[in-house]
Amino acid sequence: MASAQSQEDQVLEEETSFVRILTLNRPRQLNALSAQMISRLLELFQRYETDSNVKLLILKGKGRAFCAGGDVAAVVHGINEGAKFFSKEFILNYLMATYTKPQVSILNGIVMGGGAGVSIHGRFRVATENSVFAMPETALGLFPDIGASYFLSRLPGFFGEYVGLTGARLDGAEMRACGLATHFVPSSRLALLEEALYKVNSSDPAVISAVIDKFSLEPYLKDHSAYHWMDVIDKCFSRRTVEEILSALESESTNRADAWISDAIQSLKKASPTSLKISLRSIREGRLQGVGRCLIREYRMVCHVMMGEVSKDFFEGCRAILLDKDKNPKWKPSKLELVNDNMVDQYFSKINDDRWEDIKLPARSNLPATAIAKL
């Protein structure tokens, strides 16, 4: 009973007539997704999809985070547990991406990694002035997973490569500008927005969008926002290799003293070279693939990362950043030029080991046009 009870405590469920409100409830851990939370969300989303009384889902986080990511520190302790964790998480991401009912995610705080996976795939994403979005995986020896190669590759220009490789933090206005958020609502209006949504008796996205629109505004992009420099981002991050991206940024930095450029250069130099190379290829492949194919490929990549045959950077990154917290990972290979194409190819290959099978995504039917478009 204890684990079932803790599952229910970690995801709180409220009902109004046609709406279900789910609250991620591990505020001290910034609502990082545990295996129990993922199982609970999967169970609830599956149940609601077949319940004709449920027209709309609202997902939010308790405290100052929506969700700071998957609980990867827990994953590192056992490879088999890790594979199960990622498999269930990716199935949940797929279900959300192809869901037949609208999901409104209220992103009033930190949204990182796995937190993006349980929100960005849904129909509506509401940012506020408290939102902080990032995909920080390359600093951990991982890569933007949870279907990120699908949604990052569909951001304007090469902004997805910028966000995915550097782990840059975006505020709510930037999330709205690039399309990661569908709406921006000041946090002072969230209680009124939620009250209005609780009264909704429709699954029609136009009806729900009109309700959110009443509380929305177009936010002001800060002067120093990198989004003002999309021409420079496109010029640098459209390059074919990570080495070329870095060298393009360095030559831009000699002409201009913008903080975002020096931050991007620093982030790329600190990140795992292997992670950067597999992340760039993943986002590039994602541009031409549906969300299901992206998740199947990313699951293969995650299995290769966990097996550590090419590089053990994920374990080293977790040690340096999450466990020992010395923030000084020793990456192997240590330089971009030491990571060759054959090494990168291995992460994308089918695994020849009976213990590791490709992920089997559930069959989906009667999907709305918005979900079919993602396939």
* pLDDT classification of 23: cutoffs 50, 70, 90: very high
- Whether 94 has a pLDDT exceeding 50, the answer reads yes
By the 8 A CB rule, do 177 and 227 touch? yes
Q: Residue 353 has what pLDDT?
A: 78
- Whether 2 has a pLDDT exceeding 50, the answer reads no
Q: Mean of the per-residue pLDDT values for the chain?
A: 94
What is the tens place of the pLDDT at every residue in 186-205?
999 999 999 999 999 999 99
- pTM across the whole model: 0.96
* pLDDT classification of 40: cutoffs 50, 70, 90: very high
More confident residue, 84 or 98: 98
Region of poorest pLDDT, from 13-22, 78-87, 204-213, 328-337: 78-87
- The percentage of the chain sitting over the pLDDT mark of 90, rounded to a whole number, equals 87
Residues 6 or more apart whose Cβ sits within 8 Å of residue 345: none
By the 8 A CB rule, do 285 and 149 touch? yes
What is the tens place of the pLDDT at every residue in 300-347?
999 999 999 999 999 999 999 888 899 999 999 999 999 999 999 999
Task: List the catalytic residue out of 61, 69, 70, 122.
Answer: 70
Interval 223-229 mean pLDDT: 95
Region of poorest pLDDT, from 111-115, 329-333, 369-373: 369-373
The SS3 of residue 375 is: coil
- 73-98 burial string, b = 16+ CB within 10 Å, else e? ebbbeebeebbebbbbbbbbbbbbbb
- Whether 133 has a pLDDT exceeding 50, the answer reads yes
What is the tens place of the pLDDT at every residue in 176-188?
999 999 999 999 9
Region of poorest pLDDT, from 48-57, 80-89, 139-148, 275-284: 80-89
Indicate the burial class of 285 (C-beta count within 10 angstroms; 0-12, 13-18, 19 or more).
Answer: middle
* pLDDT classification of 366: cutoffs 50, 70, 90: confident
Task: Identify whether 145 is a catalytic site residue.
Answer: yes
* pLDDT classification of 150: cutoffs 50, 70, 90: very high
- Of 31, 32, 34, the C-alpha closest to 63 is 31
Interval 113-135 mean pLDDT: 98
- Whether 79 has a pLDDT exceeding 80, the answer reads no
CB atoms within 10 A of CB 363: 5
Task: List the catalytic residue out of 71, 82, 115, 145.
Answer: 145
Task: List the catalytic residue out of 137, 171, 174, 252.
Answer: 137
Region of poorest pLDDT, from 56-65, 197-206, 249-258: 249-258
CATH class for the domain made up of 11-348: alpha beta
Q: Residue 5 has what pLDDT?
A: 43
- What is the rounded distance in angstroms from the CA atom of residue 135 to the CA atom of residue 112? 6
Interval 81-108 mean pLDDT: 95
Phi, psi (rounded to 5 degrees) for 14? -125, 150
Phi, psi (rounded to 5 degrees) for 75? -65, -35
* pLDDT classification of 1: cutoffs 50, 70, 90: very low
- What is the rounded distance in angstroms from the CA atom of residue 68 to the CA atom of residue 300? 23
Task: List the catalytic residue out of 61, 109, 114, 317.
Answer: 114
Q: Residue 198 has what pLDDT?
A: 96
* pLDDT classification of 83: cutoffs 50, 70, 90: confident
Task: Identify whether 160 is a catalytic site residue.
Answer: no
Interval 217-244 mean pLDDT: 97
Q: Give kind and range of the element (H or E) at residue 58.
A: strand 56-61
